[in-house]
């Protein structure tokens, strides 16, 4: 099984001939890190929103939102 990032797209550049290469739709490493940070913050806020602080056996909700 081969898997890749869902943000992988085809990039092109011209130097007399057309060349294609794999690139991330999100951008460079800093942009990918910023996207990841928002995903982590969303997951934490979702868990905290549905958490019951009085529950002794506190566990995450059974279904997490899609990322």
> What pLDDT tens digit does each residue of the chain (67 aa) get?
666 778 888 888 877 778 888 888 888 889 888 888 887 766 666 666 666 667 666 666 666 566 5
DSSP string, the chain: -----TTEEEEEEESSSEEEEEEETT-SHHHHHHHHHHHHHHHHHHHHHH--TT-TT----SSPPP-
Report the pLDDT value the prediction gives residue 7, as an integer from 0 to 100. Answer: 86
Tell me what pLDDT residue 55 has: 67
Looking at the whole model, is its pTM more than 0.85? no
* Confidence at residue 12, expressed as pLDDT on a 0 to 100 scale: 87
């Amino acid at each position: 099984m081969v898997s890749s990032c869902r943000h992988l797209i085809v990039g092109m550049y011209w130097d007399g001939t057309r060349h294609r290469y794999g690139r991330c739709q999100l951008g460079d490493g800093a942009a990918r890190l910023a996207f990841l940070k928002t995903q982590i913050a969303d997951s934490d806020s979702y868990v905290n929103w549905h958490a019951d602080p009085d529950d002794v056996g506190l566990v995450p909700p059974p279904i997490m939102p899609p990322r």
